[in-house]
Structure 1
Amino acid sequence: MSNPVLALLGRGLAAGGAAGLAAGLFSLLAAEPLMDRAIRDEEARSAHSHEGAAAVQHHEELFSRSTQHAGLVVTGIIAGLALGVLFAIAYALVHRRTPQAAPWRRALVFSAAAFLAVSLLPGLRYPANPPGVGDSGTVSDRQELWLASIVIGVLGMLLAWQVSVRLAERPAPVRHTAVALTVIAVLGAMFALPGNPDDVPVDATLLWNFRVLSLASHAVLWGVFGAVFGALGLRAATVAGAFATAVGNRSAGRNGWAQHHDVG
């Protein structure tokens, strides 16, 4: 039998690659047209400034949009692989006592919690903005705020899990209410962080559609990840069960032969 940790890492890499590919293709087909429109709007705004023409020309010399489109899918796959490794390690730590039990349900629950902690809650506090939006001087500040929201989200989900574990003997409504209140408290902690320091001079409809599609791409990522990770877990459990049954039958056959031989 293979090492359980290595098996989990393999499942994480396979699920992460598939999820990254799915999310990258979704973004390419659904979100990129909006990004192209946002870039055209930004170029139009920049053209009215003194440095706009030079700035636009500088951006055009770096990477073409077709190159960026291809890079989007490749980046999605690479990010998915990295998330797969982290997910597998976290999964192994949380379920270290019974790593093989209930693989489908656990994978879906774990993926939903990851989506909540890493994507949904931080996205509510700091919604995604189209490219070209924001002052270049505030990039580091915005990145720090985003990372802080993710840290709060992850720690909050760990706290919610601990609340659920400690209230496991209580009635389900009590446990679920406590977990929900914990999540609300985590969201409150996120909104205690400073707001986005930059204005977003983008058409309201375009901005809304972009943010919805950005969040949807995260949902695709974690949904596909949970489904593939869980399906591979079910397959591994089936193979392990068949192996155990075969070993048991072989052992029973040997014992029966030995008993018959002794009687004879």
Structure 2
Amino acid sequence: MSPVITLLARGATSGGVAGLLSGAFSYLLAEPSMDRAVRLEAAREAAEHSATDHHAEVFSRATQHVGLVVATTATGLALGVLFAAVHLFLHRRAPHADAWPRAMRLTAAGFAAVWLLPFVRYPSSPPGVGDPGTVGQRTLAWFAAMGIGLIGVVLAWALHSHLESRGAGAPTRQLCVAAVLVAATAALFTLPDNTDAMDVPAGLLWEFRLWSVATALLLWAALGAAFGLLGERAARRALLPAPESGAARARTRLAAR
């Protein structure tokens, strides 16, 4: 099998496992907070509208719970393939070497760029919170934050590699990386504020956000760990001697006589 296909399959496997784990984690621990937020939103809508104006939900909460696990698994699969593609681009000369440390570094960079930095600017909110008319604006703002996060992490990675090739010491490299990430964080706050009212109890809001952080951290950590472990396994298998054919074994026995 082609090394590229093998690496992409490893990424898809790792991502699928990570997505399933994070989905199960969210279903068991984070969904109770979301359910309370949904009930609060339903009560608020019932108070604002008459019974004749009330719209029945398209999917029940039980169906939405199952959909959550399916969605996180599908997201993990896609993320795993992208993870493998980036890994191959960065390490195409020796994709199986140093599998574990490479996977951990890429996991940390991906988590910071794609999720953590955007979250710092726009923390997650429970479903139903915010004006439905601003969904498009909020989505564009989140993608802009993700773009800034990606640019910041890529610049930090490139600067670290450049300084390492020039023989700079670890303190210099790490301080320069930290400076780039601080600048990227500052750039995030040039984006417009989210002006929608947070009409949920503060305790519930921050409980939901903490569970969101935990779920995302589990997704990325499981993806990196699975990818690294599978890479270590592939590297060990590559070092094993190839099995001899029947004819080769016969020649070896004849030569030994």
TM-score (structure 1 length as normaliser): 0.89
Q: 1:9 to 1:216 in 2, by over 3 A?
A: same
Query: Does the residue aligned with 2:130 lie in a helix, a strand or coil?
Result: coil
Partner residue in 1 for 2:98: 102
Determine the C-alpha separation between the residues in 2 that align with 1:97 and 1:122: 32
Check if 1:17 corresponds to 2:16. Answer: yes
Mapped contact 1:118–1:154 kept (Cα < 8 A): yes
Corresponding position: 1:141 with 2:137: yes
Mapped partners of 2:212, 2:81: distance in 1:
23
Partner of 1:48, secondary structure, is helix
**Does the CA contact (< 8 Å) of 1:107 and 1:229 recur in 2?**
yes
Indicate the residue corresponding to 2:80 in structure 1: 84
Aligned to 1:221: 219
| CA offsets 1:192-222 (integer angstroms, 9 cap, x no match) | 1111131111101100110010011000000
Asked if 2 retains the 8 angstrom alpha-carbon contact of 1:145 and 1:193, the reply is: yes
| CA gap 1:21/1:88 in 2 versus in 1, 3 angstroms | same
What is the rounded CA distance, in whole Å, between the counterparts of 2:78 and 2:9 in structure 1? Answer: 12
Distance 1:243 1:78 in 2: 37
| Cα distance in 1, alignment partners of residues 193 and 231 from structure 2 | 41
Question: 1:63 Cα deviation (Å)?
Answer: 0.1
Q: How does 1:1-264 map to 2 (within 5 A)?
A: 2-50=1-49, 53=51, 57-60=54-57, 62-168=58-164, 169-243=167-241
SS in 1 for 2:108: helix
**Structure 1 residues 92-101 or 185-194, which shifts more?**
92-101
| One-letter amino acid of the counterpart of residue 7, structure 1 | T
1:59–1:83 distance in 2 versus 1, CA, 3 Å:
farther
Q: Counterparts of 1:177 and 1:190 in 2: how far apart (Å)?
A: 20
State the distance in 2 between where 1:120 and 1:27 align: 18
Alpha-carbon distance in 2 for matches of 1:58, 1:108: 47
Tell me the amino acid that sits aligned with residue 71 of structure 2: T
C-alpha distance in structure 1 between counterparts of 2:211 and 2:144, whole Å: 23
Which runs of no fewer than 5 residues in structure 1 stay unpaired? none
Aligned-CA RMSD value = 2.2
CA distance in 2, matches of 1:209, 1:76: 20
Distance change (3 Å), C-alpha of 1:44 and 1:14: same
TM-score by length of 2: 0.91
Cα separation, 2, equivalents of 1:54 and 1:229:
53
CA separation of 1:218/1:59 partners in 2, compared to 1, >3 Å: closer, same or farther? farther
Q: State the AA in 2 paired with 1:224.
A: A
Residues 16 and 81, structure 1, Cα contact 8 Å, conserved in 2: yes
- Report if aligned partners of 1:167, 1:175 keep a CA contact under 8 Å in 2: yes
CA distance in 2, matches of 1:97, 1:164: 20
Question: Does the CA-based 8 Å contact 1:138-1:197 persist in structure 2?
Answer: no
Partner secondary structure for residue 219 of structure 1: helix
Pairwise CA distance, 1:152: 1.3
